[in-house]
């Protein structure tokens, strides 16, 4: 997690990135943006706010040599020589352009900024910020017309509510490499920003261990539990998983299986799926690790435990209540109607 109370944007430039798939052309600025105080304060808050509560960080990766990672290389050059900022900001945009290999990759504005006074682990450092604005909003602009009357016109601009994509490359590193934070609020292509452009992986810490394990459980529920046992048991499995993480400060793989699975067959399938998940995603699922409460809260919101029926009725199960589905929800078959059914028990409607 970073602190930004002492952070100051000392350089900022805006470029336009096109889409290579559609034969577009990038457009570059030559000069830095000069802010007045009001626009500076608004821009600073807009760009840095998304990173205030991030606990998960990334590290650059490249199979041959991490120094060949493009964003890492450009950021390092800027940190070494601030006068190269404009030149390498263009290189960053060109690299981003090279990743637009499909029509769905959006064009947009790219802000590259140099930030001083970012605090990370009680040390002040510098950062290179890269932000892509993909969506603009309509707003009314009022003006005085030739008849000395006020009128309005619709214009498009950047919303200050949230950025679409952004990252901070810190001028600091640990045993895993340079520290990077990233956000992506328009995750239409999961590979484009984090994997293709930044080419980063989650740091090997309890945050990533928690996320990888929960993602594995989520996919196991979708690919194994649901096809074999149905949505009801999928919901039970996910609820039990969340319950285990909430009740334990650390995860033990063997204990987890004993508490979540009753059938030895499903324990074996979970072992097989763990191996499959590790190979498919190039990650290592730890057998023992501390639980990250922040990551658990975030990942829990992604777990879908809703039973959608073809009669336009949906039953939403609470992932925080693992016993509710088994105690108060029954599944059966009506011979007269020749239809399956769910029976739900309750005391009163809320």
Strands 8-17 and 108-120: antiparallel
CA distance 96 to 99: 5
* Same domain for 302 and 180: no
156 domain-assigned = no
34 domain-assigned = yes
φ, ψ for residue 337 (rounded to 5)?
A: -85, -15
Number of domains in the chain: 2
139 domain-assigned = no
Position 254 scores a pLDDT of 95
336 domain-assigned = yes
140 domain-assigned = no
CA distance 242 to 214: 9
* Percent of the chain as helix, strand, coil, to the nearest 5: 40, 30, 30
* Same domain for 236 and 97: no
pTM listed for this prediction: 0.76
Position 321 scores a pLDDT of 64
* HSE, side-chain direction, 13 A CA sphere, residue 159: 10
* Same domain for 179 and 86: yes
Which residue segment(s) compose the domain that 318 sits in? Answer: 207-344
Q: Alpha helices, DSSP H only, in the chain? A: 37-48, 70-80, 85-98, 206-220, 226-229, 231-247, 253-260, 264-281, 293-300, 324-328
φ, ψ for residue 229 (rounded to 5)?
A: -120, -10
* HSE, side-chain direction, 13 A CA sphere, residue 298: 15
Position 319 scores a pLDDT of 67
143 domain-assigned = no
* Same domain for 169 and 310: no
Position 239 scores a pLDDT of 87
Over its length of 350 residues, how does the chain's per-residue pLDDT go in tens digits? 799 999 999 999 999 999 998 888 999 999 999 999 999 999 999 999 999 888 889 999 876 777 789 999 999 999 999 999 999 999 999 999 999 988 889 999 999 999 999 999 999 999 999 999 999 888 898 988 888 888 999 988 888 888 999 999 999 998 889 999 999 998 778 789 999 999 998 899 999 999 999 999 999 999 999 899 887 788 889 888 999 999 999 999 999 999 999 889 999 999 999 999 999 888 899 999 999 998 998 888 777 667 778 888 888 776 666 566 667 878 888 888 888 888 888 888 87
Q: How many CB atoms lie within 10 A of CB 273?
A: 18
* Same domain for 229 and 117: no
CA distance 61 to 72: 9
* Same domain for 224 and 175: no
């Amino acid at each position: 997690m970073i602190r930004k109370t002492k952070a100051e944007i000392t350089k900022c430039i805006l470029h336009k990135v096109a889409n290579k798939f559609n034969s577009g052309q990038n457009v570059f600025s030559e000069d830095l943006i000069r802010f007045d105080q009001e626009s500076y304060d608004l821009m600073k808050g807009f760009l840095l706010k998304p990173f205030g509560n991030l606990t998960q960080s990334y590290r650059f990766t490249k199979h041959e040599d991490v120094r060949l990672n493009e964003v890492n290389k450009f950021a390092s050059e800027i940190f070494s020589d601030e006068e190269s900022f404009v030149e390498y900001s263009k290189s960053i945009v060109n690299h981003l352009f090279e990743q637009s290999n499909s029509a769905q990759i959006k064009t947009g504005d790219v802000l590259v900024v140099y930030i001083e006074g970012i605090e990370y682990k009680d040390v002040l450092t510098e950062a290179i910020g890269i932000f892509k604005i993909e969506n603009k909003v309509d707003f009314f602009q009022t003006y005085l017309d030739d008849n000395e009357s006020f009128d309005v016109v619709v214009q498009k601009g950047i919303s200050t509510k949230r950025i679409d994509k952004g990252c901070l490359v810190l001028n600091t590193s640990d045993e895993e490499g340079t520290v990077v934070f990233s956000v992506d609020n328009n995750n239409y292509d999961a590979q484009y920003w984090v994997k293709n452009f930044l080419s980063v992986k989650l740091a090997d810490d309890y945050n990533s261990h928690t996320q990888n394990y929960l993602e594995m459980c989520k996919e196991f529920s979708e690919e194994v539990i649901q096809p074999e046992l149905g949505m009801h048991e999928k919901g039970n499995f996910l609820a039990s998983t969340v319950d285990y993480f909430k009740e334990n400060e650390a995860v033990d793989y063997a204990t987890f299986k004993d508490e979540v699975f009753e059938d030895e067959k499903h324990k074996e399938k979970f072992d097989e799926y763990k191996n499959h998940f590790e190979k498919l995603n190039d990650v290592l699922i730890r057998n023992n690790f501390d639980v990250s409460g922040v990551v658990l809260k975030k990942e829990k919101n992604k777990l879908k435990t809703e039973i959608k029926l073809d009669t336009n009725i949906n039953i939403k199960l609470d992932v925080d209540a693992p016993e509710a589905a088994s105690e108060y929800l029954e599944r059966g078959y009506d011979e007269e109607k020749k239809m399956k059914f769910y029976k739900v028990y309750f005391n009163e409607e809320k």
